[in-house]
Amino acid sequence: MENRKSAYGVILIVIISGLIMAYIDAIISPPYFIKSIFKIITFLALPFLLCRFNKSLSFKSVFKLDRKSLKVSLALGIAVYIIIIGAYFTLGGFFDFSNVTKALNSNMGVNARNFVYVALYISFINSLLEEFFFRGFAFLNLKRVFSKRFTYVFSSISFALYHIAMMVSWFDPILFVFIIVSLFCAGMLFDWLNDKYENIYCSWLVHMCANFAINTVGFMLFEII
């Protein structure tokens, strides 16, 4: 019973955190640096607060390192990078990406002058933060109590929906829906890696490579490269 109560606490924190970040993204729209501080506090403080008052939850196991699995994840990450870049060059001409840079500049203050720093944060820190929250905190804890089907879907759909408020003004409707579905599928892949290897490093590595690809596209959109 105690484990089930803990699991409900995890679900509640994931929902509350998503709503907080949606409000910050859609209503407050602070500069990216301020938003990142809010996100770090929300995605770290709330899980650790729950862990502090509930001893059945632990995060130590999600940081165990399995070097053999990293080789598989690196190969998968490289493949993901190639697929994303290939999709952009293949399909990019059919969509208007001009709103992306405009929205980033007007809503978050991200522009060609500071995008390098934003890209570094997104690739290394933001990806780790999201893997800890959606996979290490949510998926790995929930799968011990609920069915794998529910846990996979809840973690992945939470991951995808979290991005809606952030990206709602970036793309035209068809591309926006495609990207949200792609984020859900990416979440399922990350969950599978966590399920298989019982740590967040593998999914973090693949997530990092995906962000490298997205940031490469960003560099092109900002005409940095």
State the DSSP string of 68-123. HHHHHHHHHHHHHHHHHHHHHHHHGGGS--HHHHHHIIIII---TTTHHHHHHIII
Q: Torsion over CA of 164, 187, 154 and 158, rounded to 10 degrees?
A: -20
pLDDT for position 1 = 44
Instruction: Give yes or no for a contact between 85 and 213, defined as CB atoms under 8 angstroms apart.
Output: yes
pLDDT for position 2 = 55
Distance CA 217, CA 95 (A): 14
pLDDT for position 133 = 95
**Six token digits for residue 209:** 């490579």
Helices (H) and strands (E) in the chain, counts: 11, 0
Domain limits, the chain = 2-221
pTM of the model: 0.91
Polymer length of the chain: 225
Mean pLDDT, consecutive 10-residue segments, the chain of 225 residues? 79 94 89 92 90 74 78 93 94 80 87 93 95 94 92 96 85 86 95 92 95 95 90
